[in-house]
Amino acid sequence: MMGMKQFIHSYLSSLTFTYSDVLEIIILSFVVYHILIWIRNTRAWTLMKGILVMIVFIFIATLLNLDSILFLVSKGINAILVATAVIFQPELRRALEQLGEKKFLSSLLPFDMEKDAEERFSDKTVNELVKGSFEMGKAKTGALIVLEKNTKLTEYIRTGIELDSLVTSQLLLNIFEHNTPLHDGAIIVRGNRIISATCYLPLSDNMELSKELGTRHRAGVGISEVTDSLTIIVSEETGKVSIAQKGVLTRDVTPEELKEQLVILQDKNVNTKRFKFWKGKGKNEENINQNKENIDQ
C-alpha cells in the first residue's frame, strides 16, 4: 500500500503544467463538448452508439487474442470512415456551416461590438402571420411558410416562383387556396416580404417522426434541420398549426404560442451596440426582453 502511495505521489509531483497546457485542455474540452452536442442532435447519435459497441467488441477481441477479427477490423477501418462521411454528408455540411455563423463566432470571443440592427420583421407582419395561419387552419387549407433567419435560403428560393409582396393574411389565404397556381410547395419570407412561392424543400428522414405526418410536415422539419429558419405548417387534414425549428416539430400550437415564437425570431433590438463579456447580461438584453414583454401585452 505504501509503495502504491509513493508511486502516485511521485507521479503527480513529476507532472508540470504550463499556460499552454491549460489552454490546450480548455480548447480540447470546448471542441469535444460541442462535437458531442452536435452528435446528440443529429442522426450521428445512433452512429455513435454503434461505434461504442464496436469499440467494446474490439477491446474484447484484443483481450482474447482474436487475431483474425482484429486483422479484418484493421483492414476495414478506412472503408468505414469513408462510408460514414458519405452517409452523414448533410450533417457534416451543416456542422461546417455552423462554424461560419456569426453567432457561433461571437460566442467564442470574450466581447463583441455590434452595429445597430433592424428587426427581422415588423409587429404587423407577426400579427398577419398568426392571423393568416389560423384562418387557413379553420378552413383546413394546407400551408408551408418558411421564415428566413441568418442562413440565406437562396438555393431553395430558386426552386420556386419569385415574388416581392408584403406579408398579409389575405395574401397567404390566396396563395395557399386549393387549385391556385401557387398553392403547391412552400413560400419563403424574408423580413416583411414574401420573396418566393412553390418552393421545394428537403424532406426529413428522421425515423422518430410520427408515421401519420405527411410530406408537408416532413418538408417543414427537413428545412429546419439544414438551416436556422423557422417553419409554420398548417395541416390540410386537421387544420392544426405546427412549428418546426432546429429539427424539432412542435405540433398543435395556439395563436399565443405561435406569436411568442415569432417575437423571439423577430429579434427586435433597440441600440444593439454593446460590449459584452461572455454570457453576462447587459443593459441592452434587458431592453430587448422588456420590448418583447410589451409586444406580448
Lowest mean per-residue pLDDT among 51-55, 102-106, 178-182, 233-237: 102-106
pLDDT digits over 227-264, tens only? 889 999 999 999 999 999 988 999 999 999 999 999 98
Calculate mean pLDDT across residues 84-97: 69
CATH code of the domain covering residue 130: 3.40.1700.10
Query: What is the pLDDT, as a whole number, of residue 183?
Result: 87
Q: Is 171 exposed, middle or buried (0-12, 13-18, 19+ CB in 10 A)?
A: middle
Query: What is the pLDDT, as a whole number, of residue 40?
Result: 65
Assess whether 130 and 164 both reside in one domain: yes
Q: Which secondary structure element, helix H or strand E, spans residue 187, and what is its range? A: strand 186-190
Assess whether 225 and 93 both reside in one domain: no
Q: Is residue 118 part of a domain?
A: no
Assess whether 100 and 130 both reside in one domain: no
Assess whether 24 and 98 both reside in one domain: yes
260/219 Cα distance (integer angstroms): 23
Q: Identify the domain containing residue 79 by its residue range.
A: 18-108
Handedness of CA 113, 116, 120, 123 (dihedral sign): positive
Assess whether 71 and 157 both reside in one domain: no
Assess whether 83 and 142 both reside in one domain: no
pLDDT beyond 50 at 287: no
Q: Which secondary structure element, helix H or strand E, spans residue 79, and what is its range? A: helix 67-87
Q: Are 132 and 169 in contact (CB under 8 A)?
A: yes
Assess whether 177 and 205 both reside in one domain: yes
Q: Where among 78, 108, 138 does a domain terminate? A: 108
Assess whether 239 and 208 both reside in one domain: yes
pLDDT beyond 50 at 272: no
Mean pLDDT of the chain: 77
Would the pTM of this model clear 0.85, i.e. be above it? Answer: no
Assess whether 161 and 128 both reside in one domain: yes
44/90 Cα distance (integer angstroms): 11
Handedness of CA 145, 102, 282, 284 (dihedral sign): negative
Assess whether 27 and 63 both reside in one domain: yes
Number of domains in the chain: 2
The band of 7, judged by pLDDT with boundaries at 50, 70 and 90, is: low
Q: Are 273 and 115 in contact (CB under 8 A)?
A: yes
Closest Cα to residue 106, out of 267, 283, 287, 279? 279
Q: Is residue 285 part of a domain?
A: no
Q: If you search the block for the grid coordinates 482474447, which residue do you land on?
A: 64
Q: Is residue 286 part of a domain?
A: no
Assess whether 229 and 149 both reside in one domain: yes
The band of 155, judged by pLDDT with boundaries at 50, 70 and 90, is: confident
Q: Where among 76, 108, 140 does a domain terminate? A: 108
Assess whether 39 and 131 both reside in one domain: no
Calculate mean pLDDT across residues 195-206: 90
Tell me phi and psi for residue 257, to 5 degrees: -70, -40
Handedness of CA 57, 58, 60, 65 (dihedral sign): positive
Q: Which secondary structure element, helix H or strand E, spans residue 250, and what is its range? A: strand 248-250
